[in-house]
Structure 1
Amino acid sequence: MAIITKITTQQKNQDRYNVFMDYGKGEEFAFSVDSDVLIKFQLKKGMDLDDFSFLEIQFQDDIRKAYHQAIQYLAKRMRSEKEIRDYLTKKENDEPIINEVLHKLAAQKYIDDEEYAHAFVRTQVNTTDKGPDLIWLELKDRGIKEELARQALQGFSYDLQVEKASILAKKFFEKNTKDSERIVKQKLEGLLLRKGYPFEIIQMAVNVSELDKDSNAEMDAIRYQGEKIYRKYSHLHGYEYKQKMKQALYRKGFAMDLIEKFLAEKEES
């Protein structure tokens, strides 16, 4: 047992109080508490505290500290339960403390993984070019349960996926006019896969983008690539020259009829 001898307000934090006690050897600082904990346990000068009461006060005060950390973390944006748990763990809070805080936050509706999942999907759809598969992985990484993630992703409709993937595909085609159509397709499919679009959507986007392609684009591309290759093999002649040119252009993704057309054009020039 020990007696509280003095309670003072902290200078740098008016919501916290320093509690001094006499353990039989004179007054000394014992602990500090949040104002809510002070009121909850009705701490005051002259009050006796046993070991159990002391531990319970410390436990509740640790909960208050972690709760304030969580509120500050939530102030910037919505968070999933896992994100808050990870953050409080990083702040070196014990698991029982974290569980109490999460329970309190859930009761106050500060944590709602269902609402978080829907808001997260809306934000990703409206502000990024990510596909549903990538958004799914990010929801999973944030601790969202599979069923909640699936429900939230219903807001990312099939038509909207095609639209966003098609925009990406069109821009990609426009930026890669100097490559063959086959190479551009391969690169584009890889890009859209990394962005998280399913193969069905990718094929649809590629097909839509091809409809807008300039009919002369492939010939322009082979001329560009062919000139570079020609500089490499211009010292060769006859059969060897043609075979080297054909092999190089074929590896660049051009069709044989287009290669023959380019070589004939080159000979005429």
Structure 2
Amino acid sequence: MPTITRITVQQKKTDRYNIFLDEKYAFSVDEDVLIKHQLKKGMELDEFSLSEIAYQDDIRKSYNLAIQYLARRMRSEAEVRKALKDKEVDESIVQEVIHRLYEYSFLNDEEFAIAFVRTAMNTTDKGTDVIRRELKEKGISDNILERALKEYPFEQELDTAIKLCEKFVQKNTRDSSRVMKQKLEQMLFRKGYSLGIIQTALSEMEMEKAEDEEMAALRIHAEKAHRKYEKLEGFEYEKKMKQALFRKGFAFELIEQVLSQINEQ
């Protein structure tokens, strides 16, 4: 049987050791594996021992990879599994690494999900539907993610949705009330807010503009449309103008008033 004739510390990785069998370099092992198998000079190693040492060292190397990955931020079990598989780690070793990570409390999907929800709630404007989808993509089970989402109170989510609406309205003063409402609904839906939150948020907003504000917005759009269709005459001009302004969400009676004013100029 081959015999260990020398053990040296690696220069760049001082927690790894080079093992020499019969005066020739054979393999390297992690310090923990060295201690666990009590490797020392003069020790004989059979095929089974060599195979077991290699297996345990692969587990240790993969465990260290996982720890480095987790050091950057909290991760879900599915994320760690994927990271190890991307490094071409064997499934049996991945399973052993995951077991050890849970054993030493480096992994906990419920704690991860709760932290994820709290971070999204406090640092983003995402609704719970988007947060739910992102947690599913990270491999979090339905039971865990639903418990985690309880960390996001309805009142706080509604308040965030209302603030989003207020900011959006301030930036889109030229839209008609009807178009504004449609855009707000679409924006909130994209950001992951439920129908109940959207309806409640819009009902809290002062969606109807004062008539003079609506007319001011209408005049801006009417001027643009007029420049586009001013070469047309009579019925064709009025038809095109009305169609263009109605598509912008303005009421027919207001459109009629603006067209009368344009005709009088």
Aligned Cα root-mean-square deviation (Å): 1.4
Query: Paired residue for 1:100?
Result: 96
Which one-letter code corresponds to 1:228 in the other structure?
Answer: K
Alpha-carbon separation, structure 1, partners of 2:14 and 2:117: 41
Which one-letter code corresponds to 1:209 in the other structure?
Answer: M
Alpha-carbon separation, structure 2, partners of 1:213 and 1:119: 41
Query: Paired residue for 1:163?
Result: 159
Question: Residues 146-157 of structure 1 correspond to what in structure 2 (within 5 A)?
Answer: 146-157=142-153
Alpha-carbon separation, structure 2, partners of 1:234 and 1:20: 91
Q: Does 1:34 align with 2:30?
A: yes
Contact (CA 8 Å) 2:177, 2:207: kept in 1 or not?
Answer: no
Alpha-carbon separation, structure 1, partners of 2:87 and 2:77: 15
Q: Does 1:200 align with 2:219?
A: no
Q: Does 1:73 align with 2:76?
A: no
Query: Paired residue for 2:234?
Result: 238
Q: Does 1:7 align with 2:11?
A: no
Which one-letter code corresponds to 2:143 in the other structure?
Answer: E
Q: Shift of residue 233 of structure 1?
A: 1.5
Q: Does 1:61 align with 2:57?
A: yes
Post-superposition Cα deviations, 1:165-224, rounded to whole Å, max 9, x if no partner, equal 111111111111122222222222121111100112112222222358555332121111
Q: Cα distance 1:164–1:215, how it changes in 2: closer, same or farther (>3 A)?
A: farther
Q: Does 1:138 align with 2:134?
A: yes
Q: % of aligned pairs identical?
A: 55
Contact (CA 8 Å) 2:76, 2:107: kept in 1 or not?
Answer: yes
Q: Does 1:216 align with 2:212?
A: yes
Contact (CA 8 Å) 2:229, 2:241: kept in 1 or not?
Answer: yes
Which one-letter code corresponds to 1:62 in the other structure?
Answer: D
Post-superposition Cα deviations, 1:113-156, rounded to whole Å, max 9, x if no partner, equal 11111110000000000000000001111111101100110111
Superposition TM-score, scaled by structure 2 size: 0.96
Alpha-carbon separation, structure 2, partners of 1:116 and 1:232: 56
Query: Paired residue for 2:168?
Result: 172
Q: Shift of residue 247 of structure 1?
A: 1.2
Q: Shift of residue 264 of structure 1?
A: 2.1
Query: Paired residue for 2:17?
Result: 17
Alpha-carbon separation, structure 2, partners of 1:109 and 1:61: 21
Post-superposition Cα deviations, 1:66-95, rounded to whole Å, max 9, x if no partner, equal 111111111111111111111111122111
Query: Paired residue for 1:262?
Result: 258
Q: Cα distance 1:191–1:149, how it changes in 2: closer, same or farther (>3 A)?
A: same
Q: Cα distance 1:216–1:155, how it changes in 2: closer, same or farther (>3 A)?
A: farther
Query: Paired residue for 1:121?
Result: 117
Which consecutive residues of structure 1, in runs of 5 or more, have no partner in the other structure?
Answer: none
Query: Paired residue for 1:190?
Result: 186
Secondary structure of 2:3's aligned partner: strand
Alpha-carbon separation, structure 2, partners of 1:207 and 1:237: 42
Bigger shift: 28-37 or 186-195? 186-195
Superposition TM-score, scaled by structure 1 size: 0.94
Which one-letter code corresponds to 1:177 in the other structure?
Answer: T
Alpha-carbon separation, structure 2, partners of 1:210 and 1:200: 18
Which one-letter code corresponds to 2:179 in the other structure?
Answer: I
Alpha-carbon separation, structure 1, partners of 2:194 and 2:163: 15
Which one-letter code corresponds to 1:17 in the other structure?
Answer: Y
